[in-house]
């Protein structure tokens, strides 16, 4: 973006939690409902860990302004991503 004083880069909110409040809130409500009703939780721990790894890389990239490679071990990739039905 440009201004009279020169180029300006808008501030990006890098804190994932504050950027995606509604999604986190819905996930939390789903988890509480599943626990209280002894139902199925659609999100596994491995899925949460994978998303966190991606978010951490995005924040690192955003802070440095450079691409970040994400290395995956086979066991880190959630099986549920292939056949998720909730």
Is the model's pTM score more than 0.85? no
Are 28 and 20 in contact, with CB atoms under 8 Å apart? no
Residue 1 confidence (pLDDT) above 80? no
Residue holding tokens 């994978």?
Answer: 50
> For residue 67, what is the DSSP state?
-
Residue 85 confidence (pLDDT) above 60? no
Nearest partner of 85 among 43, 46, 28, judged by Cα: 43
What are the sequence ranges of the domains in the chain?
A: 2-82
- Once rounded to an integer, what is the mean pLDDT over residues 64-81? 84
Residue holding tokens 């409500």?
Answer: 29
Task: Give the up-direction half-sphere exposure of residue 27: CA atoms within 13 A in the CB hemisphere.
Answer: 12
What per-residue confidence (pLDDT) applies to 13?
58
Are 32 and 24 in contact, with CB atoms under 8 Å apart? no
């Amino acid at each position: 973006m440009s201004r009279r004083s020169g180029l300006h880069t808008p501030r990006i909110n890098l804190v994932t939690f504050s950027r995606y409040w509604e999604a986190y809130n819905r996930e939390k409500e789903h988890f509480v409902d599943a626990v209280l009703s002894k139902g199925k939780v659609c999100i596994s721990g491995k899925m949460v860990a994978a998303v966190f790894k991606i978010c951490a890389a995005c924040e690192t990239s955003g802070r440095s302004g450079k691409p970040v490679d994400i290395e995956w071990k086979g066991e880190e990739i959630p099986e549920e991503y292939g056949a998720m039905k909730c």
